[in-house]
Amino acid sequence: MSPEAFVRYTSLLIVMYIVALNLVYLALTVVAFGGLRKYVARLKSLDIQDLLYSAGTIPMAILVPAYNEEATIVASVRSFLTLNYPDYEVVIVNDGSNDATLQSLVDAFDLAPADRLPTSTVATAVVRAVYHGSTHPNLWVIDKENGGKADALNVGLNYSRSPVFCALDADTILESEALLRVVRPFLEDTTTIAAGGIIRIANGCRIDGGVVEEIMVPAKTLPRLQVVEYLRAFLAARVGWDAVGGTLIISGAFGAFRRSLVAEIGGYSPETVGEDMELVVRLHRHCRERQIPYRVAFLADPVAWTEAPESLTVLGSQRERWQRGLAQVLMKHRDMILRPKYGTPGMVSMPYFVLFELMGPLMEILGYATIALAAMLGIISPIYLLAFVILGISFGTLLSLSALALEELSFRRYRRGGDLVRLFFISILDGIGFRQLVSYWRVKGMVRALRTRRATRWDAIPRKGFGDPASGPSARSAGAGSAPADRRVAASR
């Protein structure tokens, strides 16, 4: 085969792949439209007071790993302590922070050393002290040596005492009814082992006392782009996967789990930076191999608000880490792929993540490079090149606009006059440069995953905090946690 023929056929195959990729995304979105319509109709028949009464039978624990979260931790904990739930505890795990995270908590909530025995024995780094206070008897703070996010979550798992725990990021603010809503699958179906809620962007919102008082679209372009991404990730992809029973990801920023089962399988794994996805995949595996009836659910109405990166450097690091986590999880559980014993997760979800979420960014970058090379060599016409670019941008724009339509037809959180217009125009810009940049970051993450199989340290992500009620985040900064994801955005969160 001549070089010209090779380039021509390669270009054609990549175009076909990218078309298939976007058609799969579109199919998920179509499924999500039907699923979300039914879901919203059912929500209208629910009474939150009935949920409040029913939820009293299931105590919950909120587990919050924290590393250098001085900027956001106090506001987040205040929001956790005002939740509308009859019986819950808040367990903050300080993972050897080298800023004032621990001292901020001690000062803000009048904490003192206390005794508390662990209730499970998942192996972790050394626990240095336990803190408790009389003003908030349901708040506990565990101080431990640094061991990474998964290790911190396992300490929280060991020291919590409720049958269901909710894992949250330290830069997260929950809405007051979020726990009531996320516990609903556990109340309705005793086989439920995990449930996840939706993550929304807090940048630009007016926040006071750990409560989102007014929802607004971010003023800056980069967080605004992420608003559309998150709508696409959660309202389209997550709802779509839930409808077919193929949920593999429950965001580490907001997910509820049956505590006894998670402890039984050894807690969170420190062998991947995608510890949240890895736990869900391992739960699928455990239940399928032992023929245990189970359900993993996604719900679109429990809301957690998180701070999105506002610089390209920080965003790039975050997306690279998400893709690295995806690659690590898929490599670790590769023997589940295309195995009928693992049902929809093994036969449908995992092949999709390998073919389209892991390989998609690489194929997209190769596609642009190959098509450009073919055009320069005169193998294809400039019109063909232009058609390829327009097709790629059009598909991306269609998916983003579909996510906005899902938001508008369901929850309509953005009610200010020009917000929907701003999100409409940012959806168009998403496919022109930004999506390609995200693909580049994800390719870097995949390459790094091949070189680095294990990572326990926290990645440094600056935080501005929730201190300024006028504009959302304040001017302070701190260290890292992690953030949400679908693999249309990225794959491990």
List pLDDT tens digits, range 131-147: 999 899 999 999 999 99
Residue 24: predicted pLDDT? 87
Confidence band, pLDDT 50/70/90 cuts, at residue 428: confident
350, part of any domain = no
**Given CA atoms 444, 446, 451, 454 in this order, what sign does their dihedral have?**
positive
Structure-token pair, residue 429: 């810009």
Q: Which residue has the tokens 């997306």?
A: 319
Predicted confidence at residue 441, as pLDDT, reads 94
Q: How far apart are CA 335 and CA 159, in angstroms?
A: 33
For the chain, how many residues are written?
493
What is the model's pLDDT at position 493? 35
CB 358 within 8 A of CB 446: yes
In a domain, 335, yes or no: no
CA dihedral defined by 331, 448, 123, 145, rounded to 10 degrees? -170
* Token code pair at residue 389: 């670019």
CA distances from 411 to 36, 202, 406, 422 (A): 10, 16, 8, 18
pLDDT over 70 at 467, yes or no: no
Task: Give the span between the Cα atoms of 269 and 147, in whole angstroms.
Answer: 12
| Cβ(276)–Cβ(251) below 8 Å | yes
Predicted local confidence at residue 197, as pLDDT: 93
Q: 171 and 307 in contact (C-beta within 8 Å)?
A: yes
The predicted pLDDT at position 304 comes to 92
Whether the per-residue pLDDT at 106 is higher than 70: the answer is yes
Residue at 56 is within a domain: yes
- Please tell me the predicted confidence (pLDDT) of residue 320: 93
The answer to which of 27-36, 44-53, 145-154, 181-190 has the lowest mean pLDDT is 44-53
* Averaged pLDDT score across all residues of the chain: 85
Among 303, 317, 54, smallest CA distance to 186 is for 54
Residue 490 falls inside a structural domain: yes
Torsions phi, psi of 120, nearest 5? -145, 170
Nearest CA-CA partner of 333 in 323, 322, 346 = 346
The answer to the question of residue 353 being in a domain is no
pLDDT tens profile 440-457? 999 999 998 887 765 556
Mean pLDDT (whole number) for 64-93: 91
Neighbouring-strand partners of residue 144? 95, 127
Which CATH number belongs to the domain containing residue 170 in this structure?
A: 3.90.550.10
Q: Bin 181: left if φ > 0, else alpha if -120 < ψ < 50, else beta.
A: alpha
pTM (two decimals): 0.87
Nearest to 458, CA basis, from 66, 64, 63: 66
Q: What is the model's pLDDT at position 486? A: 37
Q: Are strands 112-113 and 192-201 parallel, antiparallel or unpaired?
A: unpaired
- pLDDT over 80 at 468, yes or no: no
Side chain identity, residue 211 = V
How far apart are the C-alpha atoms of 483 and 465, rounded to whole Å?
15
Output helix, strand, coil percentages for the chain, rounded to the nearest 5: 50, 15, 35
- Region 248-252: mean pLDDT is 93
State residue 185 phi and psi, 5-degree precision. Answer: -60, -35
Cα distance between residue 186 and residue 192, in whole Å: 5
**Is residue 474 pLDDT above 60, yes or no?**
no
Q: Of 419, 465, 422, 463, which is closest to residue 215 (Cα–Cα)?
A: 419
pLDDT per residue over 253-294, tens digit each? 899 999 999 999 999 999 888 999 999 999 999 999 999 999
Tell me the percentage of the chain whose pLDDT exceeds 70: 90
Strands 254-258 and 172-174 come out as: unpaired
Task: Report which residue type is found at 52.
Answer: L
Confidence of residue 392 (pLDDT cuts 50, 70, 90): confident
For the purposes of burial, counting CB atoms within 10 Å of the CB of 9, is it exposed (0-12), middle (13-18) or buried (19 or more)?
exposed
Residue 183 has pLDDT above 90, yes or no: yes
Q: Which of the pair, 431 or 32, is modelled with greater confidence? A: 32
Q: In Å, how far are 61, 104, 172, 206, 437 from 74, measured between CA atoms?
A: 18, 7, 11, 17, 34
93-107, 168-182, 448-462: segment of lowest average pLDDT: 448-462
The whole-number pLDDT of residue 50 equals 73
> How much is the average pLDDT of 223-249?
91
Report the range of poorest mean pLDDT among 70-84, 112-126, 266-280, 289-303: 70-84
More confident residue, 38 or 1: 38
Q: Is position 345 within any domain?
A: no
Residues 6+ apart with CB under 8 A from 185: 192, 195, 295, 297, 299
- The continuous run of DSSP H or E covering 229 comes out as helix 221-231
Is residue 354 domain-resident?
A: no
Residues 6+ apart with CB under 8 A from 305: 172, 173, 174, 175, 199, 200, 201, 202, 205, 207, 212
Of 13-17, 48-52, 218-222, highest mean pLDDT: 218-222
pLDDT at site 25: 85
Phi/psi at 295 (5° precision): -140, 135
Residue 415 in this model has a pLDDT that exceeds 60: yes
CA dist 212 → 201, 256, 293 (Å) = 11, 22, 38
Quick count: other Cβ atoms within 10 Å of Cβ 169?
27
The pLDDT, as a whole number, for residue 162 is 94
pLDDT confidence of residue 269: 93
The count of structural domains within the chain is 1
**Integer CA distances (angstroms), 112 to 95, 129, 134, 140, in order:** 18, 10, 9, 10
Mean pLDDT of 360-380: 80
Lowest model confidence (mean pLDDT) among 248-257, 364-373, 401-410: 364-373
- Residue type (1 letter), 166: C
- What pLDDT, on the 0 to 100 scale, is given for residue 483? 35
Residue 303 structural domain: 1-330+360-493
